[in-house]
Structure 1
């Protein structure tokens, strides 16, 4: 019986890809765990996003989560059984995957119906436009896990909400509800859940009808205007803290408050 359950969970953890009427649609599907992404799912997402342009009919990419979640980010429980080096590699892989989506020359739309947390928030922010329902929740609670935001992760937040609000997200573990996220620009559009799919597809088709040259040019121009972050930190400042990260992950798995004890200068 246990084996059957494990097999079912493995089958339900997947990235679904569809193409229709100029729209490429990626759906993150792991409903039993808030669409949390496993390492394999991050790889699937990277591969699919890299191949969207193989079909020249695709004018817009839509990314959404199944059910009432976008994605809770990475599956933290996976980190409880791997080394710090492997965890660091996993975070670098996440960043590379998110950057693939962010750097696509075609417009990208994130559809947020529920929590977009941690790396899931970063994936949402990598989209050009975000459409949310009243169930949208957006936050990056890395402070409870000993995860360090590298410059590219931080920059996506700073560009939208500013330096102080970005630090507030980490310092307090704050989560924005839909209205708050809409007011600060983390969501471009806020619509009723019952209308979300229809509205998102209509918006996708509207954008797909625009000049591809204009869309790709404005993406490039905007990026050049605001892209001041240096190259991704690799080697000097890791994603995972050698002391706080193991404690943060253990406390998550054990469902308790973390006990961070090391003094910082």
Structure 2
């Protein structure tokens, strides 16, 4: 199982490190639950989120699920503890910096995108693979990508399932800066310390204003339709097949149902 490590590498900076090295820092239930439980309790002027070793996060950890319950357990992981963790991250009142020390895939990339600023290591690759799993992504997650990189780039990420390099991500606005791989951890700390050194009331206030400006509630009828669409995907044969194919490292046999 993975773990979430907490330390304070600079004054007023709380660093959370995703540590699941045997599974490329994949997001399992203990890590996601720890994020949801720890974030509201932090006393800091800036939060720094990073990964252990040379990868940020490879996304959801679905490789250990029981074969007979693969799709059900995968759906529960995506829909419950992951959403809780994102809600906790969204609710942090102070700025949050992501030090993307390596690849960020799927849920790992959305975690980074939930942060206010992102530093990426050269050579880090990023991508969103829901179409490779038969998953309809959440409307809140897709809105997060649209806010960051616009509709055209969001379509490119989600409808092709391709991986992009950190240098491309910089051009898209997916990350704020790219640094040599060996410098990424230190640069993350330096940026977080810089942010933490600015006026706390201003930082909290400006972040709140930005959040409110970007919020655009959906019509309740449309929201219900989108939630139903996602639920249908979770219950589909294709989702079960996509998860099985991912676990067994083979090409999926899509049936469209």
Task: Give the TM-score normalised by structure 2.
Answer: 0.89
Q: Which one of the candidate residues 63, 70, 73 is aligned to 2:49? A: 63
Within-5 A mapping of 1:101-180? 101-180=89-168
CA drift at 1:241:
4.4
Change (3 A) 1:189 1:133: same
The answer to whether the Cα contact below 8 Å between 1:80 and 1:246 also exists between their aligned partners in 2 is no
CA RMSD, Structure 1 to Structure 2 (Å): 2.0
Number of the residue aligned with 1:17: 6
Within-5 A mapping of 1:206-245? 206-230=194-218, 236=228, 237-238=230-231, 240-245=234-239
CA drift at 1:66:
0.7
Residues 30-73 of structure 1: CA deviation (Å, up to 9, x unaligned): 11211001112211121111211xx3xx1110000011100011
Within-5 A mapping of 1:12-91? 13-20=2-9, 21-52=11-42, 55=43, 58-79=44-65, 81=67, 82=69, 84-91=71-78
- Aligned equivalents of 2:52 and 2:106: distance in 1? 17
Residues 125-162 of structure 1: CA deviation (Å, up to 9, x unaligned): 00000001103211111111011111101011111121
Gap regions ≥5 residues in structure 1: 1-9
- Aligned equivalents of 1:217 and 1:106: distance in 2? 9
The answer to whether the Cα contact below 8 Å between 2:70 and 2:240 also exists between their aligned partners in 1 is no
CA drift at 1:84:
4.9
Change (3 A) 1:179 1:229: farther
The answer to whether the Cα contact below 8 Å between 1:80 and 1:249 also exists between their aligned partners in 2 is no
Change (3 A) 1:248 1:79: farther
- Aligned equivalents of 2:152 and 2:235: distance in 1? 23
Number of the residue aligned with 1:246: 240
SS at match of 1:63: strand
Report how many residues are paired.
Answer: 248
Gap regions ≥5 residues in structure 2: none
CA drift at 1:254:
1.5
Residues 1-38 of structure 1: CA deviation (Å, up to 9, x unaligned): xxxxxxxxx4xx21111124211000011112110011
- Aligned equivalents of 2:254 and 2:158: distance in 1? 15
